[in-house]
Amino acid sequence: MNQEYFDKVKEVKVSDEKPKELKDQNFFTIAEERRSVRHYDPNFKISKEEVQEILETAILAPSSSNLQPWRFLVIEEQELKEQLFPIANNQQQIVDASVVIAVLGDTKAFKNAEKIYGALVENGAMTEDIKNFYVNQINDHYGNLSKEGASQVAMIDGGIVSQQLMLAAKAKGYDTVPMGGFDPKQFVEKFNVPENHEPVMLISLGKGTKAGFEKTRLSLNEVTTWNKY
């Protein structure tokens, strides 16, 4: 997508109303009211504790073999957000939201298998033998994946954790917008992203000042088939 694509969003009609304040934290209300919000109060600063609480909920998400390949880079310094701005197609939410969370996927996350499965031995959920079985299988499978295969796993798990993050933020009264509109190469260089950490998406997080667009969706019938194509 080019710069014009990202600029065009400014011409789309959005209501001047603020994002809806949630009256409850009912899951269905949160799912309905979460929207991609692109206008933020630049003076509002979310606390580090609240960002951490949101991330703590996000990391309860499921992942392939429970390897939890997600890694988060929380960008809160204004100067750094300004450096990110041109890399992310000058999208205003990059500079105005309280923080931008870069969700990354570690393509070598399988190296934590011993630690993750060892914890299950310690809490009595499995024997040392079963743990060794799993760790060997994981090393064998994930360790031999092609670059594309490893990347796909990181992207799938990174997508799942991202959605959980956005719903957790909404439940706490904050707004978000996921962004794929950035140059991953430039991002990796500028932010010194470690090897094997692939950018999944950027998420602006803060206090929205204008609601996102009205929800429009294809009908369920158009996207669902039962039993067989």
Ligand X SMILES: Cc1cc2nc3c(=O)[nH]c(=O)nc-3n(C[C@H](O)[C@H](O)[C@H](O)COP(=O)(O)O)c2cc1C
Minimum Å gap between C-beta 14 and ligand X is 10
Total Cβ atoms within 10 A of residue 203: 24
Question: Would you state the structure tokens that stand for residue 170, as one six-digit string?
Answer: 């909404």
Strand runs labelled E in 125-196:
175-179
**Choice between 49 and 220, CB closer to ligand X:** 220
Minimum Å gap between C-beta 177 and ligand X is 5
**Choice between 69 and 178, CB closer to ligand X:** 178
C-alpha 31/C-alpha 25 separation (Å) is: 10
CA 32: distance to chain centroid? Answer: 18
**Choice between 180 and 194, CB closer to ligand X:** 180
Total Cβ atoms within 10 A of residue 24: 9
Minimum Å gap between C-beta 38 and ligand X is 5
Reduced to 3 states (helix: H, G, I; strand: E, B; else coil), residue 208 is strand
**Max intra-chain CA distance, the chain:** 61
Task: Kindly list the residues in this chain that would bind ligand X in the complex (CB under 6 A).
Answer: 9, 35-36, 38, 91, 177-181, 201, 212-213, 215
**Choice between 34 and 131, CB closer to ligand X:** 34
**Choice between 142 and 206, CB closer to ligand X:** 206
Question: Would you state the structure tokens that stand for residue 13, as one six-digit string?
Answer: 């009609």
Minimum Å gap between C-beta 145 and ligand X is 22
**Choice between 85 and 213, CB closer to ligand X:** 213
**Choice between 67 and 100, CB closer to ligand X:** 100
CA atoms lying within 13 Å on the CB side of residue 217: 9
Tell me the angle at which helices 128-143 and 113-122 cross, rounded to the nearest 10 degrees. 160
Query: Residue type at 22?
Result: L
CA 64: distance to chain centroid? Answer: 16
Minimum Å gap between C-beta 192 and ligand X is 22
Strand partners, 208: 40
Minimum Å gap between C-beta 181 and ligand X is 3
Minimum Å gap between C-beta 201 and ligand X is 5
